[in-house]
Structure 1
Amino acid sequence: MTPEQLKLLRKQLRQQRRSLALRTRQQAGRKVSQHLRRQAVLHQARHIGIYLSAFSEVPTQSIINLGLKLHKKIYLPQIRNFDQKLRWVRINRQQWQNRRFSSHKLGMHEPRQRGISVNRLDLLIMPLLAFDRHGSRVGMGGGYYDRTLWKKHKAYRLGLAYEFQQAEQLDRKPWDQPLDAVLTPSGLISFTSQKSFYKT
């Protein structure tokens, strides 16, 4: 895929996501949460990193509610200014219910407390624009997740996506970080055998 083709793919998928009705997005969020609840990967994990949906991605509210209900430790990403990597800030139920987050200049919201390394997470739920059958991922273009995951980490990498975001084949650069699985409203697509979880 040429840079021009990738640019066009990004544009098309952004437009397709934005064109979804709010009700359709909300239903997708509930469905992925229902599917995830049946996965061992959720129940084995204690420390879960997840994003706050802000750009027409699959909504994450239902998953966050589920994680808190199951007494999981839930962390949201925070962009570290000096190296543009992500740190992970734990939120409690009260903070989540009151939506006590700061606005970032890129358009999303993030917590402002001190964060931890991604290496402390068991399960990392990631946004994406496109994925293929090999687990390759195209993000929004900022490279935050690729930089953060450049070295090997234990976290199980789970992408959230709509079915139409699956591409035929994506070119994976050396710095592109692959996924272990993608969860869509139709179910789980696994690319690797399930990892063992570390209990921390």
Structure 2
Amino acid sequence: MAQTRRQFRQTIRQLRQQLSDEEQRQAAEQLIQQCQSLPEIAASQHIALYLANDGEIDTMPLISWLWQQGKQVYLPVLHPFSEGHLLFLHFDANTPMTANKFRIQEPKLDQTKVKPVNQLDLVFTPLVGFDSQGHRLGMGGGYYDRTFANWFATGIGPTPIGLAHNCQHVEQLPTENWDVPLPKIVTPQRIWQWELLN
């Protein structure tokens, strides 16, 4: 099972890394068009995203659009003391940035900018792959699984929505018994949505 998940991870990462600059640009624009119809965005003021890495769909155009809508945007920061956990810090055009241990840009840690997860309205999550049942395959670190443990258990807290390129969809992923599907995943071509039983 673990080997199969590794194989899926490697194959899908290669697919998205092979997208051209023009394909990436078009995907980012189409993603905004899809997100404009999301009722979750209209109902939310405090929205967490992430900065693209490793061929992920570029989120900066979406972030800029959210700023134009007057939304407050937050980015994940690796927790300095609690291994495997995330903090979310307010992000705007003037936020000082730094590279974390994965060489991903994140806001420089400032305790006054931290937003507790339960005070976020909506969290857009990265993923490596997803299937037709809403199962999400991450990078394997479990950061977002831990972040959403309470939501998955009780349905209380910010709504998680996945973002992905069209090529990151597969019909069925190998799953573990602790995997919990996402309620919604947005790609440039469509919005995938599932009714989840909490």
TM-score, structure 1 as length reference: 0.88
Residue of structure 2 equivalent to 1:85: 85
Given that residues 48 and 75 in structure 1 are in contact (C-alpha distance below 8 angstroms), is that contact kept between their aligned partners in structure 2? Answer: yes
Q: In the TM superposition, what whole-angstrom CA distance separates every residue of 1:177-199 from its partner, at most 9, and x where no partner exists?
A: 43111111102111137xxxxxx
Question: Segments of 4+ in structure 1 off by > 6 A?
Answer: none
Query: What letter matches 1:159 in structure 2?
Result: G
Residue identity (%): 31
Alignment of 1:64-103 (within 5 A): 64-83=63-82, 84-95=84-95, 100-103=96-99
Alignment match of 1:106 (pick from 102, 105, 112)? 102
**Matches of 1:3 and 1:73 in 2, distance apart?**
38
State the 1:174 CA deviation: 4.3
Q: Which moved more, 1:152-161 or 1:16-25?
A: 152-161
Residue of structure 1 equivalent to 2:169: 166
Q: Which moved more, 1:63-72 or 1:114-123?
A: 114-123
State the 1:173 CA deviation: 2.9
Give the SS at the match of 1:94.
coil
Alignment of 1:115-194 (within 5 A): 115-152=114-151, 153-192=156-195
Given that residues 68 and 93 in structure 1 are in contact (C-alpha distance below 8 angstroms), is that contact kept between their aligned partners in structure 2? Answer: no
Given that residues 78 and 110 in structure 1 are in contact (C-alpha distance below 8 angstroms), is that contact kept between their aligned partners in structure 2? Answer: yes
State the 1:6 CA deviation: 1.1
Q: In the TM superposition, what whole-angstrom CA distance separates every residue of 1:32-62 from its partner, at most 9, and x where no partner exists?
A: 1111012211111111000011211011011
State the 1:125 CA deviation: 0.4
**Matches of 1:63 and 1:101 in 2, distance apart?**
19
State the 1:71 CA deviation: 0.6
**Structure 1 residues 177 and 108: CA distance shift in structure 2, 3 A:** farther
2:20 aligned with 1:21, yes or no? yes
Q: How many residues align?
A: 188
**Matches of 2:178 and 2:50 in 1, distance apart?**
21
CA RMSD of aligned residues (A): 1.5
**Matches of 1:8 and 1:48 in 2, distance apart?**
32
**Matches of 2:12 and 2:97 in 1, distance apart?**
28
Given that residues 117 and 158 in structure 2 are in contact (C-alpha distance below 8 angstroms), is that contact kept between their aligned partners in structure 1? Answer: yes
Query: What letter matches 1:94 in structure 2?
Result: N
